[in-house]
């Protein structure tokens, strides 16, 4: 599996996060990763975030791209993800899916 999915974050995710300084929550980024996974592998669901590193915030109006790839010998059970703003990786990590 190696896929890329583009999203325009829903304004609702910015509400209350935070007043006067809106940024897209890390969980909203994971939600778009989940949606990308649901498109690429509808029978799979996230049961662990084995590692994730959030490098930079996403701001209102910025589009994001989710890149997914299966990892090595663990096959489809482990999925590497990246959340990108243009070509910049803002969040990356590894999921376990079932």
Partner 1 sequence: MSSDPVAHLPHTGPARFVTRALETSAEHAVVEVRVPAGSAYRSARKGGAAGERVPAFLCIEFGAQAAAVLVGARAQLTERPPPGMLVSVRDAEFARAFLDADATYRVTVEARQAAAPLLIFAFEVADGAGNEVARGELTLHVELPS
Q: Does 45 bind partner 1 (CB under 8 A)?
A: yes
* Least Cβ distance, residue 52 to partner 1 (angstroms): 4
The helix (run of H) or strand (run of E) holding residue 21 is none
The single residue among 4, 8, 49, 60 that binds partner 1, judged by CB under 8 A, is: 49
Q: Does 76 bind partner 1 (CB under 8 A)?
A: no
DSSP string across 41-93: -TT--EEEEEEEEE-S---TT--EEEEEEE-GGGGGGEEEEEEEETTEEEEEE
Q: Does 88 bind partner 1 (CB under 8 A)?
A: no
Among positions 55-74, residues that touch partner 1 (CB under 8 A) are: 57
Closest CA to 33 of 60, 59, 57, 3: 3
Give the binding range for partner 1 (CB under 8 A) out of 25-33, 62-70, 72-80, 82-90: 25-33
């Amino acid at each position: 599996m190696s896929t890329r999915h583009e999203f325009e974050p829903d304004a609702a995710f910015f509400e209350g996060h935070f007043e006067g300084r809106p940024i897209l929550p890390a969980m909203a980024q994971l939600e778009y990763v989940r949606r990308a996974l649901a498109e690429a592998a509808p029978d799979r669901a996230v049961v662990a975030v084995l590692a994730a590193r959030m490098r930079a915030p996403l701001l209102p109006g910025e589009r994001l791209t989710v890149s997914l790839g299966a990892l090595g010998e663990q096959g489809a059970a482990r999925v590497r993800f990246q959340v990108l703003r243009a070509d910049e990786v803002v969040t990356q990590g590894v999921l376990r899916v079932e």
